[in-house]
Amino acid sequence: MAGLKYAGMDDTDSEDELPPGWEERSTKDGWVYYANHDEMKTQWEHPKTGKKKRCAGDLPYGWEQETDEKGQIIYVDHINKRTTYFDPRQAFTVEDVMVKPKRYDGNTAALEILQGRDLSDRVVVITGGNSGIGFETARSFALHGAHVVLACRNLSRASKAVNLIHQEWHKARVEAMMCDLASLRSVREFADSFKAKKLPLHILVCNAAVCTQPWSLTEDGLESTFQSCHLGHFLLVQCLQDVLCRSAPARVVVVSSESHRFTDLLDSCGKLDLALLSPPKTAYWSMQAYNRAKLCNILFSNELHRRLSPHGVTSNSVHPGNMMYTSIHRNWWLMTFLFMLVRPFTKSMISALPYPSQHTLTDLICIADTVMKTNFNLLNSFKKEFVLLLLVDP
């Protein structure tokens, strides 16, 4: 079962140990049965628990079910070049009970949702993919075969992130490219370099952000929080729009925040005031600047969906979770202290090997149901109905 690790599925000991002389098998359609070699008989029920089980989901990425010359079912692991009679899904069987199918919620792990998905035909670009939510998103996609591009402003850190993923699976298709959202020139250069690769683009995750940083202007003369969190992504999508449309069905995912509710873009007369987006130093408050940028993210995503959905490109904004412990709070000691206080009560973000399941990433998994065809303002990882269905089916 070591070959399953590359797909994010570590082998685990079964909680239902079989008595001596018994063997667990599965049928071609995934139903589990038990063979008693001492009495030469088979049965559907577990000999100890009496439960019926079945294999959940599709085969892991890289596996294929075939039939040998004797008519027996075999399983071929194309990644590790080996063949076995053991169904790899038997390590993750589920009890067969007549209950309503489980819906994903805010505690669902990204790799749990991706189990069995084959993303080898997908190309994914993730901004800020070298750390935090962006890294876990990139890792999850790469371990399931997708070609992942980390669009980052620090190539050294991005290269380390690429190496971490390669340590887990050396055949992962992941690369780093320079893209500084605080520079419109850098964004255009990234778009040109990506287009030069002649790759399609199926998923664009606008994840990178800054928060609680001191007032400063970018080289373009704009307030840095607004440009890094919103305007840079706006330009990036515009530059890659033609690639997205040619690659349809495709999807844009904009990582926003519930904090967008605590601001507005109106002046005292109730009119839209664009000056609020890039305020002077005297009118700047870092949290307000962040909240306004997140509100712009949602407005942009909604309008983008309206314009591009007829061309097969959908867009959604997502809220990944409240105060998840990432490096986004690093610029202000008070915010770092608050994040530390609430850390035991928020979803985990663990970035050290070996990797456990992560209870994160609404941006990795953007839509609640395959039947959900329309766009929603903001998908929230804490709401039962708006959670975690992968971007694999744009």
What domains, with CATH codes, occur in the chain?
Answer: 2-95 (2.20.70.10), 110-380 (3.40.50.720)
Q: 390 exposed, middle or buried (CB, 10 Å; 0-12, 13-18, 19+)?
A: buried
CA atoms within 13 A on the CB side of 74: 13
Res 350: pLDDT: 42
Tell me the average pLDDT across 172-176.
Answer: 97
Q: Which residues pair with 316 in a beta bridge?
A: 253
Question: Would you state the structure tokens that stand for residue 97, as one six-digit string?
Answer: 């009970």
Give me the mean pLDDT over the 33-50 stretch: 87
| CA dist 228 → 133, 208, 261 (Å) | 16, 8, 20
Catalytic residue among 61, 290, 325, 355: 290
* Diameter of the chain measured on Cα atoms: 85
Residue 291: closest CA among 271, 316, 262: 262
Mean pLDDT of the chain: 77
Residue 129 has phi, psi (to 5 degrees) of -85, 10
CA-closest candidate to residue 106, choices 318, 355, 343: 318
User: CB-hemisphere CA count at 13 Å for 114?
Assistant: 33
Cα distance between residue 118 and residue 174, in whole Å: 16
Residue among 239, 204, 224, 201 at smallest CA distance from 128: 204
- Interval 171-198 mean pLDDT: 98
More confident: 356 or 165:
165
The confidence score (pLDDT) of residue 95 equals 67
3 secondary structure, DSSP code: G
Q: Is residue 290 annotated as a catalytic residue, yes or no?
A: yes
Structure token digits, residue 112: 């749990």
DSSP per-residue string spanning 315-341 = EEEEE--TT-SSGGGTT-HHHHHHHHH
Distances (CA, A) of 168 to 4, 6, 358: 11, 7, 15
CB atoms within 10 A of CB 86: 13
pLDDT of residue 225: 95
Strand partners for 66: 74
Nearest to 141 by CA among 205, 193, 199: 205
pLDDT given for residue 177 in this prediction:
98
pLDDT tens by residue, 357-374? 333 443 344 433 332 334
Closest Cα partner for 304 from 313, 294, 295? 313
Residues in contact with 83: Cβ distance below 8 Å, sequence separation at least 6, in sequence order: 74, 75, 76, 77
Token digits for 187? 């964004």
Q: Is 387's pLDDT higher than 90?
A: no
Query: Can you tell me the distance from the alpha carbon of 235 to that of 226, in angstroms, rounded to the nearest whole number?
Result: 13
Confidence of residue 227 (pLDDT cuts 50, 70, 90): very high
Contact present, 183 and 218 (Cβ < 8 Å): yes
Confidence class for position 205, pLDDT limits 50, 70, 90: very high
Helices then strands, counting H and E runs in the chain, come out as 8, 15
pLDDT at 378: 46
Which one, of 169, 173, 163, 161, lies nearest residue 129 by Cα? 161
Name the range with the highest mean pLDDT among 53-62, 260-269, 321-330: 53-62
